[in-house]
Chain A
Amino acid sequence: MTDAHNPDVTIDSRDASCPGPLMDLIGKVKGLGSGTVVELQTTERNSTTDVPEWLEKAGHDLVEIEERDEYWSIFLEVN
């Protein structure tokens, strides 16, 4: 069972402007195996819509989006 709070990989894209966080994620996901749980940390609000859209297009699963004090954590599972 996927545990969103214990990701295998964390990508810190805080303070990167759009589309930086999404590009950081795409660059990293290419090298990850199926089943890997990733946390993308972003301060860019657009990421909360762009990333789920890309995950759907690329065939990966969105697990959860958590709003923190100053950023969002987007959890996903690589297929």
Chain B
Amino acid sequence: MHRIAIVGGGTGGTVLANRLASELQTEIETDEVEVRLITADPNHVYKPTFLYVPFGKKTVDDAKRPIEELVDRRVTLMTDEVIGVDTDQNRLSFADRTTSLHYDQLVLATGATLEPEAVPGLAEGGHHFYGLAGAERLRDELADFTEGHLVLSVVGVPHMCPAAPVEFTLMVDAWLRERDRREDVEITYTYPINRVHGLESVADWATDLFEKRDIGLETFFNVDEVDPDAEVIETVEGTELEYDLLVAIPSHRGSDLVTDAGLGEDGWVDVDRHTLEATAAKSVYAIGDVADVPASKAGSVVHYEAGVVADRIASRARGETPTATYDGKTVCFLEAGMDEATFIEFEYGEEPYVREPSNPLHWAKLGYNESYWLTASFGPKLAEVSNSDIAFASGLMAILGIVSVVYR
């Protein structure tokens, strides 16, 4: 039997497992191929939901579903923690068992981990919306924040969803205006390099909006230390900035599993940017945040990567030469306030065009987030998805149809 193992039950692992279940349906049913998804968390978490939690528009429960409800029945689901990868012997070892597991092809989709403790004082002094607990804590803090200096500081680059800090800043501005608190709240956005975003077109777009909305900017701002008692941020450039509410995007790291297996430094897997195959080992792929490619750490990236890797793995399982490649395709919706959004798409080396924000694109983003649950699960499980979700997705397709005509 040809054994395919996927480690990680986030968007990448789940979408990939379902794609493989579909592409290798015949081989799985005749016991020639096994697709196994191994995840330490029995819940699947859809992180884009977190952006809306601080504003009371979503709850953390909206971001979670049991993974067994999403995974195709032809996938062998295993709830376990992988603690070792032996790429010479093609074997995985686990936290709570003595037996190891052989693989013929392996995909690492272990994501990125927040590392607030990398900056002294940040965990104590800062809030964030990049996790379940953090988003809830920020919601409570923001609800009671009526005056003072709110600082949104991007501490770590790269980080998940590069657009989210800009989105949060524009959303909190609009949210405060709706509540007549904006005049009593100063807002400052900080970024490590000499513009407000890694992509120049997004940086130009956001800088213009920040100026119009009276949002302060600090660039070349690399946080060295946070003093939570004095409520001051100190940077490696020698700047000091006082805050009353600090919303910070912490540093991210990959996985110790990756470093220990010799697959890449800092926990990110070194891969060929087009084939997504590990450079240090054969028959090993990485997708999503853990893959060290010059693309965004964003959900759409891993959707496209999963499609490519599914094709390559299926080809190998059939003894064929794989030909599918990933070109860096990324699609992002960007909220520009509480009721308008824009959207960008680009590939490796391309600069996206930023469209004028609109209300239909805001609804398209919300609709896409809801329909995610349909794109993560498919095949036989589709029949088990509620009718309301299907109705929502149909509505979304209608909206997107209109949007594509208007904004072509």
Q: Which residues of A contact B (CB under 8 A)?
A: 16-20, 22-23, 26, 29-30, 50, 53-54, 57-59
Contact = CB atoms under 8 A, between A and B. Distances in A.
A29 B192 CA distance: 14
B238 A19 contact: no
B380 interface: no
Contacts of A18: 198
B193 A50 contact: yes
Contacts of B157: 19, 23
B193 A22 contact: yes
B328 to A, nearest CB: 10
Contact of B222 (A16, A26, A53, A59): A26
A59 to B, nearest CB: 7
Considering residues A16, A18, A26, A57, which has the most beta carbons from chain B within 10 angstroms of its beta carbon?
A: A57
A16 B294 contact: yes
Interface SS majority for chain B: loop
A33 to B, nearest CB: 14
B238 A26 contact: no
Contact of B236 (A22, A26, A53): A26
A29 B294 contact: no
Interface in B219-248: 220, 222, 224, 236-238
A54 B220 contact: yes
B192 A19 contact: yes
Contacts of B236: 26, 29-30, 58
B194 A50 contact: yes
Interface of B: 157, 192-194, 198, 220, 222, 224, 236-238, 294, 349
Contacts, number: 35
Contacts of A22: 193
B294 A17 contact: yes
B294 A20 contact: yes
B268 to A, nearest CB: 12
A59 B238 contact: yes
B193 A19 contact: yes
A53 B195 CA distance: 12
22 contacts: A17-B294, A17-B349, A19-B157, A19-B193, A20-B294, A22-B193, A23-B157, A26-B192, A26-B236, A30-B224, A50-B193, A50-B194, A53-B194, A53-B220, A54-B193, A54-B220, A54-B237, A57-B220, A58-B220, A58-B236, A58-B237, A59-B237
Contacts of A59: 237-238
Contacts of B294: 16-17, 20
A64 to B, nearest CB: 21
A17 to B, nearest CB: 4
A54 B198 contact: no
A58 B220 CA distance: 9
Nearest to B224: A30
B224 A23 contact: no
Contacts of A54: 193-194, 220, 237
Given A16-B294, A20-B294, A58-B236, 16 more contacts: A19-B157, A23-B192, A23-B193, A26-B222, A26-B236, A30-B224, A30-B236, A50-B193, A53-B194, A53-B220, A54-B193, A54-B194, A54-B237, A57-B220, A58-B237, A58-B238
A54 B237 CA distance: 9
Nearest to A58: B237
A26 B192 CA distance: 9
B144 to A, nearest CB: 35
A4 B193 CA distance: 25
